[in-house]
Amino acid sequence: MAEILDGLKVSKEIKAEIKVEVDKILESKRRAPHLVAILVGNNGASKAYVNAKVKDCEEVGFQSSLIKFPSTVSESELLEKIDELNKSKAVDGFIVQLPLPDQIDQEKIINAIDPRKDVDGFHPENFGKMALEMDTFLPATPFGILTLLERYNIETKGKDCVIIGRSKIVGRPMSILMGRKDFPGNSTVTLTHSYTKDIEEYTKKADIVITALGDPHFLKGDMVKDGAVIVDVGITRVDDDSPKGYHLAGDVDFDSCAAKASWITPVPGGVGPMTRAMLMKNTIIAYKTSVYND
């Protein structure tokens, strides 16, 4: 039976470490790091996620601000707010919660964020630096996965790693990071996606499988080899007859895969808490390196 890669436990440890840093900052009479979140519209999942980030800021001692816009906001109005935040000496990092309404060009919004305040790690400059193995903000979910592997001392050097899903937020950066010259890294990486034929032919040989599909229970036990390390990024609401009316399911069929794997992340409690913790980590990095922090 697989051992659990406990993202909830590790995220609490990381936030506790950040709080120690913030306490020292405040003791030295300097202002607290400040994270701003922009929320457009009333998407339930986005609201819940942003509210969780605000709570995380409170836990570690950050100042946090939430800026809300209606779903009808114009692109120019949103860009004006981003420009204001870029110029503010009181703001260390900010995020624009995705997805955005159809009238707004998402790429234009991401490109407008000052890379020095892009704590989501989505700006092309930061993505390019990541690909070149330069110091930069890493996207929060891949950063969280790397940190989880590191904290549990999961061997990655020379291992075969299969990534399922090629999104710019998880799959593609994860494939770059697992192949980098570092720990975790130095893996032989295969990036699979919706056009990959016979995905199980790849996953059956993999020492590490990282899946970010959003397809509940896609990865079954007969698709992985004994002793594999399995990281489940997927999280989907599945309707059921419970009082809540739904449950959260990952991409991995947990029971069948856990019977064969050496390590596995649960859903919930695996990658999700790590994503939020690494946003806090990126924010304090931004604070410490900011040209505005006098």
pLDDT, averaged per 10 consecutive residues of the chain (294 residues), comes to 97 98 96 96 87 95 97 97 97 95 96 97 97 97 98 98 96 98 98 96 98 96 98 92 90 98 97 96 94 56
Same domain? 89 vs 145: no
In a domain, 147, yes or no: yes
Contact 35, 64 (CB under 8 A): yes
Per the annotation, does 235 bind a ligand?
A: yes
Residue 229 lies in a domain: yes
Confirm whether 18 is domain-assigned: no
- Per-residue model confidence (pLDDT) at position 292: 56
Q: In which element (H, E) is residue 128 found?
A: helix 124-131
Whether 167 and 246 map to the same domain: the answer is yes
- Determine the pLDDT at residue 134: 96
The reply to whether 144 and 266 lie within a common domain is yes
Place of tokens 């990959």: 196
Domain that holds residue 92: 29-114
- Domain assignment present for residue 165? The answer is yes
**What CA–CA distance (Å, rounded) separates 137 from 208?**
24
- Are 161 and 206 contacting, i.e. CB atoms less than 8 angstroms apart? yes
CA 183 to CA 137: how far, in whole Å?
17
Q: Cα 91 to chain center, whole Å? A: 21
**Where does the chain show beta strands of DSSP type E?**
3-4, 34-40, 63-69, 93-96, 160-164, 188-192, 208-211, 229-232, 236-239, 246-249, 263-264
The answer to whether residue 50 sits within a structural domain is yes
> How many whole angstroms separate alpha carbon 94 and alpha carbon 87?
12
Cβ 79 vs Cβ 87: under 8 Å = no
pLDDT, position 94: 97
The enclosing domain of 95 has a CATH number of: 3.40.50.10860
Whether 54 and 90 map to the same domain: the answer is: yes
Do 101 and 160 share a domain, yes or no? Answer: no
Query: Is 4 known as a binding-site position?
Result: no
- The span from the CA of 141 to the CA of 127, in Å, is 14
78, 107 Cβ separation under 8 angstroms? no
pLDDT of residue 86: 97
Q: Where are the beta strands (DSSP E) in 174-228?
A: 188-192, 208-211
| Rounded Cα distance, 86 and 92, in Å | 9
CA atoms of 200 and 203, how far apart (whole Å): 5
The residues that are catalytic are 53, 97, 120
Q: What angle do CA 138, 211, 208 make, to 5 degrees?
A: 85
SS3 237: strand
pLDDT for res 294? 53
For 247, phi then psi, to 5°, come to -135, 160
Which amino acid belongs to residue 130? M
State the Cα–Cα distance between residues 253 and 203, nearest whole angstrom.
Answer: 14
pLDDT value of position 48: 87
Q: Classify residue 93: in a domain, yes or no.
A: yes
User: Do 164 and 267 fall within a single domain?
Assistant: yes
pTM as predicted: 0.95
Count of CA atoms in the C-beta half-sphere (13 A) of 56:
31
pLDDT of residue 266: 97
Answer whether 208's CB lies under 8 Å from 162's CB: yes
**Residue with structure tokens 């295969």?**
190
> 74: annotated binding-site residue?
no
Minimal CA–CA distance to 61: which of 94, 105, 17, 115?
Answer: 17
Q: Do 151 and 90 fall into the same domain?
A: no
* Shared domain check, 149 and 106: no
Tokens read off for 177: 């990071």
Residues 33 and 82 in one domain: yes
Nearest to 54 by CA among 75, 39, 76: 39
Domain count, the chain: 2
Residue 11 within a domain: no
> 106, 98 in Cβ contact below 8 A?
yes
